[in-house]
Amino acid sequence: MTEIFGVPLQALYGQLLVGLINGAFYAMLSLGLAVIFGLLNIINFTHGAQYMMGAFCSYFLLQYAGVGYWWSLLLAPIVVGATGIVIERTMLARLYKLDHLYGLLLTFGLALIIQGVFTNYYGSSGMPYRIPDELAGGINLGFMFLPKYRAWVIAASLVICLTTWYVIERTKLGSYLRAATENRALVQAFGVNVPRMITLTYGFGVGLAAFAGVMAAPIYQVNPLMGATLIIVVFAVVVIGGMGSILGAIVTGFGLGIVEGLTKVFYPEASNTVIFVIMVIVLLIKPAGLFGRER
């Protein structure tokens, strides 16, 4: 068997794949956080819980309505995004004039409520979600075995991330969004309904988290606490990348996933902490983050 630095290549490829998968989730979640932060100036601590709700939504749809994976991929983000819109209208909208930190505290409380309710009914053990038939099995690439579902997750998340980037950076709608991020009052003076835009942006960010949750369901199982620790890693990813750039969030997300995967091969003890260590190094060298700007 071929080896590199005493590690079999098979294991290296395997962990690289796992790293890419994790990176796909980091990218999608930090993208949602960045979009929400850009317009609302709120760090959405509920993001992890909303990712979990997406996974549960697809589980419920399958269990009680017989709706399969593909429809869930469309429906779950809409349903969870709608709950996000309700949260924004009834609660977050009251906080915009206050210190940003209140938004963090409110969404932290909401995350506790949501996770607590789900843990109450479903315990903390995971429930399996079957991979859809079309994506079961895998392809033998010659040097490694690639499960079809994992390839799909990487491809789909790339498409979603790049589409989001395109919409925000290259379309008329995106230009309104970016303008409102810079100067809300001025955009409103031009006749754009900024409050509605804010509401929809939050709904979109939450929907993105739910979409990631549906994609995660067959890989990580459906578990009430699946988002709780993930969100802390995503925060570190956001600090590393800086929230100034959409493309930056995507690149940082995938990049850190790969680094984490490689760490699992070469120094497994540090695989849990490597992202935090990188965060420390980035803070020392470039405090604003790799793609960030001070604001």
Residues whose CB is less than 8 angstroms from the CB of residue 119 and which lie 6 or more positions away in sequence, other chains included = 224, 225
Residue with tokens 């409380």: 109
> How many alpha carbons fall within 13 Å on the CB side of residue 99?
4
Site for another protein in 71-110 (CB under 8 A): 91, 94-95, 97-102, 104-106, 108-110
Q: Kindly state the smallest distance separating residue 82's Cβ from another protein, in Å.
A: 19
Identify which range of 54-62, 192-200, 211-219, 278-286 contacts another protein by CB under 8 A: 278-286
d(CA 244, CA 247): 9
Q: Kindly state the smallest distance separating residue 29's Cβ from another protein, in Å.
A: 13
The single residue among 1, 5, 6, 120 that binds another protein, judged by CB under 8 A, is: 120
d(CA 199, CA 174): 15
d(CA 84, CA 92): 10
CB contact burial 70-93 (16+ within 10 A = b; e otherwise): eebbebbbebbbebbbebbeeebe
d(CA 268, CA 132): 32
User: How many residues interact with another protein (rule CB under 8 A)?
Assistant: 44
Instruction: Write each residue from 14 to 43 as x if it is in contact with another protein (CB under 8 A), else as -, in one continuous string.
Output: -----------------------x-----x
Contact between 137 and 149 under an 8 Å Cβ cutoff? The reply is no
Closer CB to another protein, 143 or 267, in the complex: 267
Instruction: Write each residue from 219 to 248 as x if it is in contact with another protein (CB under 8 A), else as -, in one continuous string.
Output: ----------x--xx-xx-xx---------
Q: Kindly state the smallest distance separating residue 272's Cβ from another protein, in Å.
A: 4
Closer CB to another protein, 8 or 116, in the complex: 116
Backbone angle region of 43, left / alpha / beta, with phi > 0 → left and psi within -120 to 50 → alpha: beta
What is the binding site for another protein (CB under 8 A)? 37, 43, 91, 94-95, 97-102, 104-106, 108-117, 119-120, 229, 232-233, 235-236, 238-239, 269, 272-273, 276-277, 279-280, 283-284, 287-288
